Amino acid sequence: MISGLHHYALEIPDLEVADSFLTDFGLETAEASGALVAHCPGRNQEQVRMVEGQDKRLHHVSFTLAPGSRDEVLASLERAGMPLIEPPPGAEESGTWLRDPDGNAVQLLAAEQEPARPVPEILVNAGASRQRVGRAAWREVTGDVNPRRLGHSLLFTPQPGVMTGFYTGVLGLKVSDTVHRDFVTFLNAGRGDHHVFGFISSTHPGFHHASFEVPSIDAIAIGADRMRSRGRAAGWGLGRHTIGSNFFHYNPDPWGSWIEWFSDIDQIDDCWVAGDWDVPPQLWGAPPPETFLANREQPREVSGPMARS
């Protein structure tokens, strides 16, 4: 049913701070009815929405639905006893709205993912492959380094089993892999990226990170250099992940969570078999900072959902 991640939204204290940070990261920003929205250059799809509020917290998460699956989703929600809700203030109102078991607002859009910005094939001279002949890579890799698309997001949850059961059993995602049983859970939407969503076990709900695909490992390193040159706090990377196998670099955002560039993520098919792994998050590279798994979002009381007419 869910075909991919459309965008994520945070409630934050200062939209001007968000505008500057997201621009430095490589996104294009605009104002939308009092909110700040951001797009990847060359992609006509909202990827980030920032709504002003007293404290930073997850405002909502938005997914696209596979064509023709909305009625199936509505029936699945009804069987699960999950009522529909009104869109939270500051959100774009289209689509179907609900709350997941942690109380997070979720938007389901009956729309297809917009294509990512086209980029040229990366030619490599590695292993037995000799694809790049008569061309100097260093003169080409700086040509396109900005994010192409939002790939995935991970949330903190105090009930990973319940959340996984809801997103797989009710909304149709599938488990790709887990780490230490359900300490970290990665979910996919079928053929394509190893994961589009997932959970990290914590004491309370919260937003951990969002990850954007860039054209190459060089683009990751160049983006990290750009953030350092603009005085942004040091992040984590460069490295290659174990689960998902992607190259990565994370930067802390101004609100205590993280934003990631990635490239070369595993692609799965219908034959993929999920495993449970006892591995560190990085195959190579420095270990993550102690703050990487800190859930700095304030615990919140979730009021009962308001049924839509």
Q: Residue 95 phi/psi, 5° resolution?
A: 90, -170
The pLDDT tens digits for 162-191 are 999 999 999 999 999 999 999 999 999 999
The total number of residues shown for the chain amounts to 309
Integer angstrom CA distances of residue 84 from 38, 98, 216: 27, 5, 41
| CATH class of the domain defined by 2-112+147-284 | alpha beta
Q: Which residues of the chain have pLDDT under 70?
A: 301-309
Q: Which pair of tokens denotes residue 307?
A: 């049924």
Q: Cis link prior to 5 (omega < 30° from 0)?
A: no
pTM of the predicted protein model: 0.95
Cα separation, 82 vs 307, whole angstroms: 10
Secondary structure (H, E, C), the chain: CEEEEEEEEEEECCHHHHHHHHHHHCCEEEEECCEEEEECCCCCCCCEEEEECCCCEEEEEEEEECCCCHHHHHHHHHHCCCCECCCCCCCCCCCEEEECCCCCEEEEECCCCCCCCCCCCCCCCCCCCCCCCCCCHHHCCCCCCCCCEEEEEEEEECCHHHHHHHHHHCCCCEEEEEECCCCEEEEECCCEECCCEEEEECCCCEEEEEEEECCCHHHHHHHHHHHHHCCCCCCEEEEEECCCCCEEEEEECCCCCEEEEEECCCEECCCCCCEEECCCCEEECCCCCCCCCCCCCCCCCCCCCCCCC
Integer angstrom CA distances of residue 4 from 28, 46, 61, 64, 217: 21, 13, 11, 5, 23
- Are 178 and 277 within 8 A, CB to CB? yes
Which residue is associated with the tokens 């089993």? 161
Q: What is the pLDDT of residue 300?
A: 75
Q: What is the pLDDT of residue 1?
A: 93
Which residue is associated with the tokens 């061309």? 135
Cα separation, 39 vs 165, whole angstroms: 31
Q: What is the pLDDT of residue 161?
A: 97
Strand partners, 155: 199, 207
